[in-house]
Structure 1
């Protein structure tokens, strides 16, 4: 034993403590890196599952409705699975929330078939939400401020989606289908928050006035959670590196 050690009876225990703390730190970093790797692998897996589900649903929706889309003035977006009804004069009167007769006829034909596809065994357990979205242009009455126009259009779009929701539930004949749908369907008035623009960058007011039906799946929500956790884990690693 050296003279320094004999003068400090705690020297050995402090050294052991520092070594133990270093070991704990290394284990924590290793565990965090392992969690990040596992999260990355799970993210890749979920992306694959999500893409496969999206592709299958898109193909079935496209196959079911491709003969109707043109006469309905509707399109299906592959990336979001949104079915967009984009002829505003068919949907509602200007500034009104009552579904027009022509749109009622379209919904009578469209919605039961839409729900039948979503309730197929390969999809029904994966559906988290069926969204009815109402969108408007940014304009309102002349002289309105931008804020007034936004909130007036918000109220209008919310009224319209609730009206559409009430109507489409009445198109379903079977109680089982109605109950299943009611547990998942939501009405979302979005005002002018998601405008459509022309190629020149100007607001396309006619195209912006639309109603969309879209679905969210469990794979999508799980992926969002994994990505959020992955970001937190990576931030934890960066924090440890800074320390």
Structure 2
């Protein structure tokens, strides 16, 4: 493969190494092309991720502004507040449910009758519809169970878990049954979820102590599809 003749002189040795050097050069070029291709793919993936991040921030900020504008005059009388993470928190436990019950109080039903159709109208608008990946109803409790019943911290946690899950399911069933959103029920069924979180996300006062009243709450939270889009890009890049 490498020899032109049977001689063993310097010229013959030179003939022996020239094809080998060409082979090594070819291998180096192949390696270089692979490296450049990999770097190009990674740069393209990074560019796409940055675009998604910018788009996510734009959608996130615009949605926050639209929700705040729509509900800012109603939140105080509802005992609710909106946060930058796109959560709307109903934080008056006496308005929401009776102690230990998952039945919605009439006052909370009236609030949902007003709030939810307007909320859905914003989220399902052409401006945001394709960016929404989940609409979460989250139920939260304090770390306490019925103070008249002896229960360990684990018992209290699991009992509150069952209660918070029941409350979110009841809330979901109620809002999904509102006639004012019947035209969007199919869309909502693919996105609306009930999530009972027990006492896993307590609220604390300035002294670092648990605030039992504020910890008992219901939150509506929006998640966009930015994370899933980035995951798909990384998978393709691999």
The structural deviation recorded for 1:56 is 1.4
Instruction: Identify if the C-alpha distance between structure 1 residues 29 and 195 changes in structure 2 by more than 3 Å, giving closer, same or farther.
Output: farther
Report the CA distance shift for 1:30/1:150 in structure 2 as closer, same or farther (over 3 A).
Answer: farther
**Which residue, 60, 69, 76 being the options, matches 1:63?**
69
User: Displacement of 1:139 after TM fit?
Assistant: 2.0
Q: Which shifted more, 80-89 or 14-23?
A: 14-23
CA distance in 1, matches of 2:199, 2:232: 28
Give the aligned partner of residue 138 of structure 1. Answer: 143
Indicate whether 1:116 and 2:121 are aligned: yes
Counterpart check, 1:43 vs 2:49: yes
Instruction: For 1:193 and 1:224, locate their aligned partners in 2 and report how far apart those are by CA, in whole Å.
Output: 27
Please state how far the C-alpha of 1:122 moved relative to its aligned partner: 1.2
**Aligned equivalents of 1:169 and 1:94: distance in 2?**
24
Distance 1:14 1:201 in 2: 73
Name the counterpart of 1:96: 101
Range 176-185 or range 153-162, more displaced: 176-185
Q: Structure 1: how far apart are the matches of 2:93 and 2:9?
A: 92
1:26 is displaced (CA, Å) by: 3.5
Equivalent of residue 73 in structure 1, options 73, 76, 79: 79
CA contact (8 A) 1:172 1:178 kept: no
- Aligned 8 A contact 2:86 2:221 in 1: yes
Q: Does 1:210 align with 2:217?
A: yes
Judge which range, 135-144 or 66-75, deviates more: 135-144
Structure 2: give runs of 5+ residues left out of the alignment: none
**2:196 maps to 1:150:** no
The alignment of Structure 1 onto Structure 2 pairs a total of residues equal to: 229
Residue 200 (str. 1) matches residue 207 (str. 2): yes
CA contact (8 A) 1:112 1:172 kept: no
Q: CA RMSD in A?
A: 2.9
> Normalising by structure 1, what TM-score?
0.81
The whole-number CA distance in structure 2 between the counterparts of 1:187 and 1:24 is 54
Consecutive unaligned residues in structure 1, runs of 5 or more: 234-243
Which residue pairs with 2:87 in the alignment? 82
Q: Distance in 1 between matches of 2:153 and 2:21?
A: 68
1:129-151 C-alpha deviation (Å, 9 max, x unpaired): 11111111222245422322222
1:16 Cα offset (Å): 6.3
Counterparts of 1:65 and 1:186 in 2: how far apart (Å)?
A: 22
